[in-house]
Amino acid sequence: MDNMAKHYTLESGTLTYQMPKEVDHHVAKEMCQELDRLIEAYGIVELVLDFSKTEFMDSSGIGVVIGRSKTMRFRSGTIMVTGVGKRVDTILRSAGLYQLLQTK
């Protein structure tokens, strides 16, 4: 992931995070650390994961979503997804993640 480019926006308790083109084990750990840091630092109560640029996601991406879902539930917050294309939708559905997520 390119740390020079800002890939998130903050607006009154809402963090909208632009998911990368490929969500795999190469970026998952860094994404988890960054998301957790931002959620804590800014007191986020609504996390929006924007998948509009994501073309590929593997089980590491599922782990990112599940982990942040637990974080947001612990904070009594919500996690939403937006911009979900066919490939990512299939993965989210087959993993049963829509039980944890809201769509925007």
Which residues are within 8 A (CB) of 23 and not within 5 positions of it... i.e. 6 or more apart?
Answer: 31, 54, 56, 57, 58, 60, 61, 64
Give residue-wise pLDDT tens across range 19-71: 999 999 999 999 999 999 999 999 999 999 999 999 999 999 999 999 999 99
Q: pLDDT tens-digit profile of 76-100?
A: 999 999 999 999 999 999 999 999 9
Query: Would you state the pLDDT for residue 74?
Result: 95
pLDDT value, residue 5: 64
Decide if pLDDT at 6 tops 90. Answer: no
Q: How far is CA 88 from the centre of its chain?
A: 12
